[in-house]
Structure 1
């Protein structure tokens, strides 16, 4: 006796639904270094129609550069390869990828493959690090714009003239209004993938875009962007640890609150183009520059480096404390002493001077 909802037709439909669910294979997203790379979507409909005639044999010939974009599904990568003549069909690639679990680790970037490859050979080459021709560019915290441009040229081969032309076009880079057309402070330190054929503007715009994203994620309102980036750039140059950066920004706030000049050697060095120096001369400190915080009250005219997220956090959330002075007393360890009185500060400066005597090379 059939009860309502249990007749044989319903059973057959449920069976078909289960079979369809088994065919639809979703492979987990591959996450490398905090970013999502190739996303493998539903493969079932493509695999179901695959036949051996959809695939080529052998390892292929010639050379073809193919770009895998972040978020591409397995089927999308297959279409890209088929359109480029690497594999015969998308279904062949998806079938080969399904048989190789490691394909979930394919990263975005440009790969040098061959024409008329078997799908299995294409999968194997995509998993071979030697096939990836994307350049990995790591920009450390605290570099200035000229230093970043020199690093980009050295790492990627993008000509210096192109980079200088790109940095002179703030609209093309997407700089925020707070930058006033100056890229300093907005070439965000991070690791980037640079693909063959990318222009100087493409490379630098990626850094500016990342800076804008981080500022937005931190909730920095547009009217505060300029001051936050300037303070963060100072903290980045003056301290190494996040804790010390937050103390540095507190010193800046405490001094400005009582109208005390900031008197920062780091801003004077920036004005003098001597960013690698930890001390300044009397002549440099007497130079009339909007970055000379010995002569001019308040913050310098703009950022003096490209700060990372920890420095931006420090600018947004200074530590609590009464300090008015700080000095790094050991350049090897980064040990920084903070003081409230001039007597305490002078004692700390004496420690720094002793360090310099013991390490004349610095």
Structure 2
């Protein structure tokens, strides 16, 4: 019999207090297969072999004493799997025969009003392990299943469709159970009860294996992504600390101009640190390694280098190894044109007369038309030219360097370029480097038409000595009063006739962009430190002049 009918014979009552009909039993079994998590799949049922069933005996009233249990029928051989999967076919109706329960929806007789009748058992040719009469009531405790009333079979198939065979029929020995005197009902012992208990206690079904695999995969991908990101960020943060991103050498040849001073007795390590600090080389350690491998010795002096030079090139400059391969020129700031041409001749081998002839024709080098020669336009610094470079190309390089600096400061008009170079040459000769901006500002204050303090006179000793063709810190009153000297700014108002020397980059920048002030006077009171004092009145200026004279007295022979 079906597990749902394995309760006592008192029968399960419906919501209205009556026993279940065959239609309700059938509906309950269908509900069990669909809502009970497929505990007993529909494919597990099978009827006996097709054939005319033996008509059931008319229902008899059961005696008060239960009849003896019917002998246990022999177990049938397991049916073919394909047959097991097919629904049972109803037997053909025999003419003139009728079966109990053909009334369909008629309710069963309430056991409370009538004596309990023994269930009618239909014996098919192949006996099922679980056989239930259609009129047998369902068990009372059905673990939450609901009653249905729509799909109960009616007619002559009702009894036949109430017989089922479980797929595991061969695994459980059949027993006979006759609750309350009902004989002939075969019961499968505790196995059926265990099956129902497992169905009732089964936990809700969790996520499928596919979903769990997808979740594990996504978790793995997320973990790997976080690891890669953390590793990348950490490595970038640690690179500067570990020096992993440090460049050992620049490709060269470099740009700009950097002056490196090597004092007497200086070591290679100190020079390497200075080169790195001024961005001449990429790594002090790498440069020091290349320098030691070259096997040379340092020589004191000033060396002109470039930013971002190749280590081997910087080593060659410090060891003077380029001198035999190139023409080397070193020009100091403040040199007059004749002094510059002499230095160029010594570095290149070109004669001074040839260089002077070129300088006296300044128009070919692109300088302003007011220039009589290249005075003020031969930029100071260190230069290296390939062997065989012409004198014209050498001078053009020096002039172009000065013109480029003027343009960089926004001075593009040729007439203004000439004036700026002239002021810059005075600044270079008069002031200490730290006061270049203030000296330039004071000069422009004296050139203003509103100047009543000096009435347009610059009054520079350096201009007078330039016009005299001498170098001296001392000039007498007669020299100051000589108006025939076109460079005498004591006797002649305005700027001198032209530049008085070669200004460096710092002086050009100060003349192009002077410091705004209201100074009218300046005097260098210490020729060693280049300390310069500024004043607005002549009285204050004379005080500073007295300090200068005192320094000269303390340093005999220096102020001549």
TM bracket (short chain)? 0.5 to 0.7
Instruction: Provide, for residues 45-101 of structure 1, a one-character-per-residue CA deviation record: whole Å limited to 9, x for no partner.
Output: xxxxxxxxxxxxxxxxxxxxxxxxxxxxxxxxxxxxxxxxxxxxxxxxxxxxxxxxx
- Structure 2 CA distance, aligned partners of 1:338 and 1:217? 29
Unaligned runs of 5+ in 1: 1-26, 36-102, 112-126
Where 1:34 maps in the other structure, the secondary structure is strand
Aligned positions of 1:4-83 closer than 5 A: 29-32=251-254, 34=256
- Structure 1 CA distance, aligned partners of 2:393 and 2:521? 41
Who is 1:262 aligned against? 458
Change (3 A) 1:359 1:200: same
Q: Is the 8 A contact 2:520 2:535 kept in 1?
A: yes
Change (3 A) 1:221 1:34: closer
- Higher mean Cα deviation, 174-183 or 264-273? 174-183
Equivalent residue for 1:213, pick from 399, 404, 423 = 404
Who is 1:18 aligned against? none
Q: TM-score, normalised by structure 1?
A: 0.63
Deviation at 1:128, TM superposition (A): 10
Deviation at 1:133, TM superposition (A): 1.3
The answer to which structure has the higher helix fraction is 1
Where 1:149 maps in the other structure, the secondary structure is helix
Equivalent residue for 1:279, pick from 470, 474, 480 = 474
Who is 1:136 aligned against? 328
Who is 1:190 aligned against? 381
- Higher mean Cα deviation, 230-239 or 156-165? 156-165
CA RMSD of aligned residues (A): 2.7
Change (3 A) 1:178 1:190: farther
> Does structure 1 residue 146 correspond to structure 2 residue 338?
yes
Name the larger-Rg structure. Answer: 2
Instruction: Provide, for residues 121-150 of structure 1, a one-character-per-residue CA deviation record: whole Å limited to 9, x for no partner.
Output: xxxxxx993685113212111111011012
Deviation at 1:107, TM superposition (A): 5.3
Q: Is the 8 A contact 2:363 2:369 kept in 1?
A: no
Change (3 A) 1:130 1:318: closer
Change (3 A) 1:318 1:130: closer
Who is 2:536 aligned against? 340
Instruction: Provide, for residues 182-211 of structure 1, a one-character-per-residue CA deviation record: whole Å limited to 9, x for no partner.
Output: 211110112211322223222211101111
- The number of residues matched between the two structures is 250
Change (3 A) 1:107 1:319: same
Q: Is the 8 A contact 1:175 1:186 kept in 2?
A: no
Change (3 A) 1:141 1:130: closer
Deviation at 1:31, TM superposition (A): 3.9
Q: Is the 8 A contact 2:441 2:516 kept in 1?
A: yes
Unaligned runs of 5+ in 2: 1-248, 258-308
